[in-house]
Amino acid sequence: MKTIREYVEAGVLPLDDLKGALQLAMRLEFATIPPYLCAQWSVKDDPDRTEGVLHKIVSQEMNHFALAGNLLAAIGGRPSIAHPDFLPTYPAHELPGSIPQQLPVDLKPLVKDQLAVFMQIEYPEFPPIALLGGRPPATIGAFYDTITETFQTLEPAIDLKAHAVEVPFAKPIRTVADAVDTIDRIKREGEGTQGSPDQPPEEGGDGHAHYYLFKELYVQKRLVETGGKWSFSGAPVTLPEVYDFASSPVRPNPSTEFDRTLSKLLVDLETCWTSGAPPNVAAMFRLRILGRDLIKRGIRPEFRWDDGAASASNGGAA
C-alpha cells in the first residue's frame, strides 16, 4: 500500500489510487480508536466529566472511519476491514500511511503522558512531531486535500445505489460536492484542521477539534477567547482517577473473548458496505462491556484479530 507522502506528491490521483487513498483513510481513522477507547474505559472517578470528552472524540473518529468507507463505496470501491492486516499493532511508531510518531502510540490509561501522545496524533495541519533532518513528512491535512482535489478534478461517477453506513448529521453521498463536504467534515472535526496549536479556526457550532480538547485536559485549563485572542487560561480541569492496566501473561489471554467480539464486529461492519446489512449495534455494546471489564481487572484489551470469530461469521453468512 502506498504511503501518504506518495499520494500527496502524486497530486490528482487516478481512480484506482483514489480508492486506495480512501482505504488508507479508513485505516488511519481506525488506528486512533483503540488508544482512545482504552483511555475512555480507564476513567474511574471523574469530577470534570472527562469521560464525556473522550466519548465525543471516539464517536467522531468512528464516524470518520464510516464516512471514509462510504466515500470509497460511492465510487465503486469495496471497503476491506475484515482481516488481520487491518488492525494496527501497538505500540506503533507510525500511523498507517507511514506517518512517524516520536511518542509511540500505545494502549494506556488516560494520564498526562498519554494525552501528550493524543495531542501528537491530532496536531493541526502538521505531522505529529517533525522529524529531525531530511524531508518533512507529508501531513494528514495535505492527504485529505489531495483526495478533495482528486474528486473535484476527476469527477468520478457516484454510485447512487452504493451501500453506506448511516452517520449522524451526514447527508448521503450523491454528488462530488457531497463527497467534498464529507471530507471537509472529517478534517474540521479531527486530523488536518487548519489553525495554530493555540488558536482554533473560526468554525462555529460544533465545538473545538480534537487537538484542542486533548490540550485542555493536558494543561488542565479550558481554552477561552478573551479580547479576540485564544488561550488556555479558563476554568481549571481536574483529571480523573483511572484504572491502571497491562498486557496479561496468562494463557489463554483474558482478552480472547474481547478480540473475538472485535473481529466479528469488523466482519459484520464490512457487510454493511457489501450487502447493506445494518451495523451490529449489539456487538458494539458487547465490546464496550468486555473492554471496561478487562481494564477494571487491570488487563489490557489487545485489539487483535481472531480467526475463529471471522470464520464463524463467514460460515453463518454462507
Domain spans, the chain: 4-242, 245-318
Q: Which pLDDT does position 137 carry in this prediction?
A: 64
Question: Considering only CA atoms, which of 69, 63, 140, 62 is closest in space to residue 98?
Answer: 140
CATH of 4-242, one of 3.60.20.10, 1.20.1260.10, 3.40.50.300, 1.20.210.10: 1.20.1260.10
What's the CA angle centered on 191, arms 11 and 76, to 5 degrees?
55
Q: Which pLDDT does position 228 carry in this prediction?
A: 81
Residue matched to cell numbers 472485535: 262
Rg over CA atoms, the chain:
19
For 167-182, write each residue's pLDDT tens digit.
999 999 999 999 999 9
Mean pLDDT, range 216-231, rounded to an integer: 90
Q: Which pLDDT does position 313 carry in this prediction?
A: 56
Q: What is the pTM of this model?
A: 0.91
CA distance 138 to 145: 11
- 180-189, 273-282, 288-297 — most confident range: 288-297
What's the chain's average pLDDT? 89
